[in-house]
Amino acid sequence: MDKYLLVILIFMVVTIPIAFVEPSSGEFRDQPLIPLFYAAIGGIIIILLYSSYKDRKERQAANMKRRSR
């Protein structure tokens, strides 16, 4: 996984507790921020899918280069 994707993934993971806990006081929210929670989960899934897709394409290119020799 690239460095920039890893940084974005860390931000997404940190966003999940922020949806349920008030950062300034540390108390649980009465109404959690459900859209923020689902956006973080969706972002994590998209990052993982993109990373695996990119790795698969790199492996395919390396295999084709190795076979053409």
Instruction: Please write the tens of the pLDDT for every residue from 19-45.
Output: 999 988 889 999 999 999 999 999 999
At 58 the pLDDT is 93
At residue 15, does pLDDT exceed 80?
A: yes
Percent of the chain with pLDDT over 90: 78
The proportion of the chain whose per-residue pLDDT surpasses 70, expressed as a percent, equals 100
pLDDT score, position 68: 83
Burial class (CB in 10 A: 0-12, 13-18, 19+), 40: buried
Phi, psi of 22 (to 5 degrees): -75, 115
Give pTM, 2 decimals: 0.80
